């Protein structure tokens, strides 16, 4: 078709398939592979000359967001079979945000390693990646990008809106909100039980603009999801069709040799950042996007976010940046294709995607059906991007705040720090009404970063002191080297880098020091002289190691800081020599 972006891609032949090295040769080892495939009831006709497609499925019985993947995988298989491929399901760790402790962030890189090695060690030619819950999206994509065989991402889809007594409930956001109401004595224990039963009503990912919805949108914006796929609700029949279509498409992608490296250009990542900003993205997106881009060989950093943040306004009116709508509304309003069409002037339209077409072609003719949910650029819900990167003597390598989801009076603020070294002592203090918090206080938690947490737990929305809640206050300036849930809100400074646990300047802050923040100027400082900081540094001793064996030991030895994406150093693309294909 001469109107299309490129000529018909050169197709690979069956002889060139990677899996043929396992199944093809007339030798003893291939005899073993074939006889064992026949042991499972497959005939040679079913695999010979066909792309073998791995389906990396992150289903588990403790992963509510992916509950439907147990059967949805059959729809993916149907698509693969229809297109002439041979599907094989390879389960991977489900990184369940709700159940995995201390935090799924400890295990994102484990999923990344697992995905890469599953694909490397097995006879597969391409992969469908089934994820959606927060860390599963970057985990799967990091691994598939490093392995670099054709791969397509199938997002789980958002769950239905929550419902309680006819009121809409949003994942995360309303748990915090009603918890504060309960602590302030505004709702009863009985009400609270009602919220508990109504907030998560179907399988699928959190339906606020949390990390899950942000990351699946990013996966689509950087080209790895079929057009519109990241907005389709988990419980919609369209999701079943998306699953089989992803299966059909990956088989073609193998013949076209359309690999992640061909899709994930620097421009593709700039598109992802633009979409993240327009969606009012989760702060977690920054860490994951930096890690993903670097695996693809693109040097994306905090400065890129800062640049786009000043340029692209928030037009996705979805909580917590918006105050009313959820992903279900966003889907009905036209979904991500509608949003991307509205910000097309900020996108590189010529980027190639898994559809085999460009971003521009994918969003051609996209419509918005409710321009309060998906706003035009001329009527944003927040004029600048949803994230701001701050620097100063408290955070020389940067930290992050979400101005779109906080009380605007804290955009410029100075106040005395109240510093805690661990979560339990902070928790105790905020519940103690005699503790001397004032509305000006800056609540600080440290030792909550990549190594200190460990794993940067989502503690960054530090709980409001009970005393201030009872005064009717619902926000205050808070500061930590932790992350926060994408569904959280408030004047929370996060991801302080370098972290306090390894001796970043946050380690030197003391209760009573004045902390000053100016979001417009992008600064954050403690008003302590350099000489005094030097004295404090000389007296500082590193805390004891968190782990002395196991995965945690490897984690603390190799995890990088937040501004570098928290990847393991040895997984970086430019680290050492490339990993060879296995000897068969």
Q: Binding to ligand FES by residue 212, rule CB under 6 A?
A: yes
Residue 387 interacting partner from ligand FES, Mg ion, none (CB closer than 5 to 8 Å by kind): none
114, 116, 125, 134: residue in contact with ligand FES (rule CB under 6 A):
134
Residue 133 interacting partner from ligand FES, Mg ion, none (CB closer than 5 to 8 Å by kind): ligand FES
Separation CA 218–CA 273 (nearest Å) = 7
Q: Which stretch binds ligand FES (CB under 6 A): 205-213, 412-420, 545-553, 556-564?
A: 205-213
Whole-number minimum distance, CB 205 to ligand FES, in Å? Answer: 4
Separation CA 327–CA 552 (nearest Å) = 35
Cβ within 8 Å of residue 569, ≥6 positions away: 558, 560, 575
Our CB check for Mg ion shows the closer of 79 and 132 to be 132
Could you give the angle at which helices 335-342 and 266-279 cross, rounded to 10 degrees?
A: 100
In the block, which residue shows the tokens 């040799």? 257
Our CB check for ligand FES shows the closer of 97 and 328 to be 97
Residues 426 and 302: beta-carbon distance below 8 Å: no
Our CB check for Mg ion shows the closer of 210 and 392 to be 210
Our CB check for Mg ion shows the closer of 62 and 545 to be 62
In the block, which residue shows the tokens 């977690």? 284
Our CB check for Mg ion shows the closer of 406 and 461 to be 461
What distances in angstroms separate CA 227 from CA 129, 154, 201, 223, one per listed residue?
Answer: 16, 11, 26, 9
Q: For the window 440-479, what string marks contact with Mg ion as x by the rule CB under 5 A?
A: ----------------------------------------
Residues 406 and 489: beta-carbon distance below 8 Å: yes
119 SS3 class? helix
Our CB check for ligand FES shows the closer of 215 and 366 to be 215
Whole-number minimum distance, CB 55 to ligand FES, in Å? Answer: 20
Concatenating the DSSP letter of every residue in 531-545 gives HHHHHHHHH--PPPP
Residue 485 interacting partner from ligand FES, Mg ion, none (CB closer than 5 to 8 Å by kind): Mg ion
Q: Binding to ligand FES by residue 133, rule CB under 6 A?
A: yes
Our CB check for ligand FES shows the closer of 353 and 487 to be 487
103, 109, 205, 556: residue in contact with ligand FES (rule CB under 6 A):
205
126, 150, 157, 210: residue in contact with Mg ion (rule CB under 5 A):
210
In the block, which residue shows the tokens 């849930």? 485
Whole-number minimum distance, CB 158 to ligand FES, in Å? Answer: 8
Per-residue tokens: 441: 């206080």
The footprint of ligand FES on this chain (CB under 6 A) covers a number of residues equal to 10
Output DSSP code: residue 295.
H
Our CB check for ligand FES shows the closer of 48 and 98 to be 98
Q: Binding to ligand FES by residue 500, rule CB under 6 A?
A: no
Residue 271 interacting partner from ligand FES, Mg ion, none (CB closer than 5 to 8 Å by kind): none
Nearest CA to 516 out of 348, 392, 384, 360 is that of: 392
Whole-number minimum distance, CB 213 to Mg ion, in Å? Answer: 10
What distances in angstroms separate CA 230 from CA 47, 137, 234, 335, 524, one per listed residue?
Answer: 31, 11, 10, 8, 35
∠ CA 365-371-372, rounded to 5°: 155
Whole-number minimum distance, CB 66 to ligand FES, in Å? Answer: 8
75, 114, 116, 134: residue in contact with Mg ion (rule CB under 5 A):
134
3-state secondary structure string across 234-259: CCCHHHHHHHHHHHHHHHHHHHHCCC
Q: Which stretch binds Mg ion (CB under 5 A): 134-142, 257-265, 421-429, 461-469?
A: 134-142
Give the HSE-up count for residue 117: Cα atoms under 13 Å, Cβ half-sphere.
Answer: 9
Residues 106 and 134: beta-carbon distance below 8 Å: no
Separation CA 316–CA 335 (nearest Å) = 9
Q: For the window 28-67, what string marks contact with ligand FES as x by the rule CB under 6 A?
A: -------------------------------------x--
Cβ within 8 Å of residue 174, ≥6 positions away: 162, 195, 199
Q: Binding to Mg ion by residue 485, rule CB under 5 A?
A: yes
Which pairs count as long-range contacts for 26-30, CB under 8 Å and 24+ apart, including other chains?
Answer: 29/584
Whole-number minimum distance, CB 284 to Mg ion, in Å? Answer: 7
Separation CA 326–CA 35 (nearest Å) = 51
Whole-number minimum distance, CB 287 to ligand FES, in Å? Answer: 16
Q: For the window 79-108, what string marks contact with ligand FES as x by the rule CB under 6 A?
A: ------------------xx----------
Our CB check for ligand FES shows the closer of 97 and 114 to be 97
Residue 65 interacting partner from Mg ion, ligand FES, none (CB closer than 5 to 8 Å by kind): ligand FES
Q: Binding to Mg ion by residue 362, rule CB under 5 A?
A: no
Nearest CA to 249 out of 51, 91, 72, 5 is that of: 51
Q: Which of residues 342-401 bind ligand FES (CB under 6 A)?
A: none
What distances in angstroms separate CA 490 from CA 125, 183, 524, one per listed residue?
Answer: 46, 17, 17
Q: For the window 143-172, what string marks contact with ligand FES as x by the rule CB under 6 A?
A: ----------------------------x-
Q: Which of residues 32-51 bind Mg ion (CB under 5 A)?
A: none
Separation CA 383–CA 556 (nearest Å) = 39
In the block, which residue shows the tokens 């397509």? 152
Whole-number minimum distance, CB 117 to ligand FES, in Å? Answer: 24
Element counts in the chain: helices (H) and strands (E): 21, 14
Q: Which stretch binds Mg ion (CB under 5 A): 5-13, 272-280, 442-450, 482-490?
A: 482-490
Our CB check for ligand FES shows the closer of 104 and 298 to be 104
93, 118, 206, 274: residue in contact with ligand FES (rule CB under 6 A):
206
Whole-number minimum distance, CB 326 to ligand FES, in Å? Answer: 13
Instruction: Catalog residues that contact ligand FES under the rule CB under 6 A.
Output: 65, 97-98, 133-134, 171, 205-206, 210, 212
Instruction: Catalog residues that contact Mg ion under the rule CB under 5 A.
Output: 134, 210-211, 485
């Amino acid at each position: 078709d001469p109107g299309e972006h490129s000529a018909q891609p050169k197709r690979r032949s069956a002889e060139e398939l990677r899996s043929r090295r396992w199944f093809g040769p007339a030798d003893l080892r291939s005899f073993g592979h074939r006889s064992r495939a026949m042991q499972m009831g497959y005939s040679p006709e079913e695999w010979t000359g066909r792309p073998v497609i791995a389906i990396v499925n992150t289903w588990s019985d403790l992963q509510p967001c992916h509950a439907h993947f147990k059967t949805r995988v059959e729809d993916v298989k149907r698509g693969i079979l229809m297109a002439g491929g041979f599907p094989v399901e390879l389960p991977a760790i489900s990184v369940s945000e709700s159940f995995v402790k201390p935090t799924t962030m400890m295990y994102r890189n484990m999923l990344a390693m697992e995905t890469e090695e599953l694909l490397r060690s097995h006879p597969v030619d391409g992969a469908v990646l089934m994820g959606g819950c927060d860390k599963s999206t970057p985990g799967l994509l990091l691994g598939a990008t490093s392995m670099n065989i054709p791969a397509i991402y199938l997002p789980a889809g958002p769950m239905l809106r929550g419902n309680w007594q006819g009121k809409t409930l949003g994942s995360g956001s309303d748990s915090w909100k009603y918890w504060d109401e309960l602590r302030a004595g505004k709702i009863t224990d009985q009400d609270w039980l009602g919220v508990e039963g109504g907030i998560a009503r179907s399988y699928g990912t959190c339906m606020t603009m949390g990390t899950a919805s942000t990351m699946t949108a990013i996966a689509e914006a950087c080209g790895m999801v079929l057009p519109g796929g990241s907005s389709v609700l988990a419980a919609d029949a369209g999701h079943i069709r998306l699953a089989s279509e992803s299966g059909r498409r990956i088989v073609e992608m193998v013949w076209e040799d359309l690999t992640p490296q061909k899709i994930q250009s620097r421009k593709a990542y700039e598109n992802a950042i633009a979409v993240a900003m327009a969606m009012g993205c989760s702060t977690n997106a920054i860490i994951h996007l930096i890690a993903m881009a670097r695996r693809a060989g693109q040097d994306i950093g905090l400065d890129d976010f800062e640049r786009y943040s000043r340029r692209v306004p928030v037009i996705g009116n979805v909580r917590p940046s918006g105050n009313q709508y959820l992903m279900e509304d966003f889907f009905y309003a036209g979904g991500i294709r509608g949003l991307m069409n509205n910000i097309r002037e900020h996108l590189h339209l010529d980027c190639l995607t898994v559809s085999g077409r460009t971003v521009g072609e994918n969003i051609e003719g996209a419509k918005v059906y409710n321009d309060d949910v998906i706003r035009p650029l001329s009527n944003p819900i927040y004029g600048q991007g949803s994230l701001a990167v701050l620097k100063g003597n408290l955070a020389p390598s940067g930290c992050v705040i979400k101005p779109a989801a906080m009380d605007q009076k804290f955009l410029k603020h100075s106040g005395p720090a109240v510093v805690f070294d661990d979560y339990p002592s902070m928790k105790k203090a905020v519940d103690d009404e005699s503790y001397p918090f004032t509305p000006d206080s800056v609540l600080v938690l440290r030792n909550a970063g990549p190594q200190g947490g460990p794993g940067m737990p989502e503690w960054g929305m530090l709980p409001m002191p009970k005393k201030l809640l009872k005064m009717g206050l619902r926000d205050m300036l808070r500061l930590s080297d932790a992350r926060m849930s994408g569904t959280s809100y408030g004047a929370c400074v996060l991801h302080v880098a370098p972290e306090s646990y390894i001796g970043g300047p946050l380690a030197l802050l003391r209760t009573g020091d004045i902390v000053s923040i100016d979001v417009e100027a992008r600064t954050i400082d403690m008003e302590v002289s350099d000489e005094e900081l030097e004295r404090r540094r000389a007296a500082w001793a590193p805390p004891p190691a968190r782990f002395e064996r196991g995965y945690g030991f490897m984690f603390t030895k190799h995890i990088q800081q937040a501004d570098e994406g928290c990847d393991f150093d040895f997984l970086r693309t430019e680290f050492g020599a490339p990993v060879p294909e296995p000897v068969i």
